[in-house]
Amino acid sequence: MHIRARKALDSFLAEDIGNGDITSNLLPRKKISASIISRQGGIVAGVQYVKFIFVSRGCKVKILKKDGSKIKTNQKIMIVSGFAHTILSCERTALNLLSRMSGIATQTNHLVNKIKKVNPKVKLYSTRKTVPGLRLFDKEAVEIGGGNRHRMSLDEMVMIKDNHLAVAGLLELIQKARKQYRTIEAEVENLNDAILAAKAGASIIMLDNRSPKEILKIVNTLKKLHLRDKVRIEASGGIDSTNIQSYARTGVDMISVGKITSSASGLDLSLEVN
């Protein structure tokens, strides 16, 4: 496990436990076993991190459902054994993370399956719309659900967006970026800028908050100008389960959906003492 993940998990526990779980410390020093159970169907994500949480406090863990597994209501995901006060002091931290990651993986998988039905070539991507401190876990949950990571941080790839363009010109920024970087993504607002970006050497053209009809027109025009094969095209903005298939049909390469992480609904899970 990456050192960043270990440090984050330790900090999550420290945040929740504080100076000690004063309620659980009232319990007799007794060993127990407990099961983490799903209260709804979905895709499991984050079991190795939850295992680390418990193991780091001296518990033993048996994983019954691996990351990416489909689960039904009332199925056991893992069994934890150890001292009662230790298991219960880790309970909420473990459930919070597993619930969030599984919720993200489940929603991602739902959208990926909708895309595949109309255009298997289109890939679903997450965005940087994540809760501070949780990006590593959110992005991994997206991958477990069948999606793809976009940038983890600002130093991974050049992405020229509207506020950058409010300061400097599109052509100027692409030309400057090409002197130092291989992959350059540029957000455009109209057909002319899409053509300009493709000719200037952008790797990816982002069409943000454009309708499927507008995107289809841009894709077809780039084809006619023999520019389509030079760039990948990404659709973004206002895309969800109700319209994602319409965007997939336009012939874009990528669809990015911020809601799978920014508005994640956790999977309903519980820990029960056996």
Residue 44: φ, ψ to 5°: -80, 135
What CATH number has the domain bearing residue 12? Answer: 3.90.1170.20
**Together in a domain, 74 and 131:** no
- Looking at the structure, tell me whether residues 152 and 176 fall in a common domain: yes
Backbone angles phi, psi at 179, to 5 degrees: -75, -20
Tokens of 147: 């999606």
CB atoms within 10 A of CB 20: 10
* Alpha-carbon distances, residue 221 vs 131, 187, 247 (angstroms): 38, 17, 17
CA distance 194 to 102: 37
Radius of gyration of the chain (CA): 22
Q: Say yes or no: 249 and 268 in one domain.
A: no
Greater confidence (102 vs 128) lies with 102
How does pLDDT run across 10-29, given as a tens digit for each residue? 999 999 999 999 999 999 99
Model pLDDT, residue 264: 84
Looking at the structure, tell me whether residues 120 and 81 fall in a common domain: no
Q: 215 near 187, Cβ under 8 Å?
A: no
Length of the chain in residues, anyone?
A: 274
Whether residue 85 is predicted with pLDDT greater than 90 in this model: the reply is yes
Question: What are 196-248's pLDDT values in tens digits?
Answer: 999 999 999 999 999 999 999 999 999 999 999 999 999 999 999 999 999 99
The CATH number of residue 170's host domain is 3.20.20.70
pLDDT score of 2 = 84
Question: Which domain, by its residues, includes 213?
Answer: 112-262
The crossing angle, in degrees rounded to 10, of helices 135-144 and 84-118 is 50
90 and 118 share one domain: no
Same-domain check for residues 173 and 215: yes
Same domain? 54 vs 172: no
3-state secondary structure of 272: strand
Confidence of residue 156 (pLDDT cuts 50, 70, 90): very high
Burial of 252 per CB tally in 10 Å (0-12, 13-18, 19+)? buried
**Local structure of 178: helix, strand or coil:** helix
What pLDDT does 18 receive? 93
pLDDT digit string (tens) for 54-67?
A: 999 999 999 999 99
| DSSP-assigned beta bridge partners for residue 233 | 205
State whether 68 and 140 are in the same domain: no
Same domain, 81 and 150: no
Query: What is the total count of domains within the chain?
Result: 2
246 and 160 both lie in a single domain:
yes
Is 9 a residue whose pLDDT tops 80? Answer: yes
pLDDT of residue 151: 87
Contacts 24+ apart (CB under 8 A), 11-14: 11/133, 12/53, 12/93, 12/96, 12/97, 13/53, 13/56, 13/57, 13/90, 13/93
78 and 11 co-located in one domain: yes
d(C-alpha 101, C-alpha 12), whole Å: 15
Are residue 159 and residue 220 in the same domain, yes or no?
A: yes
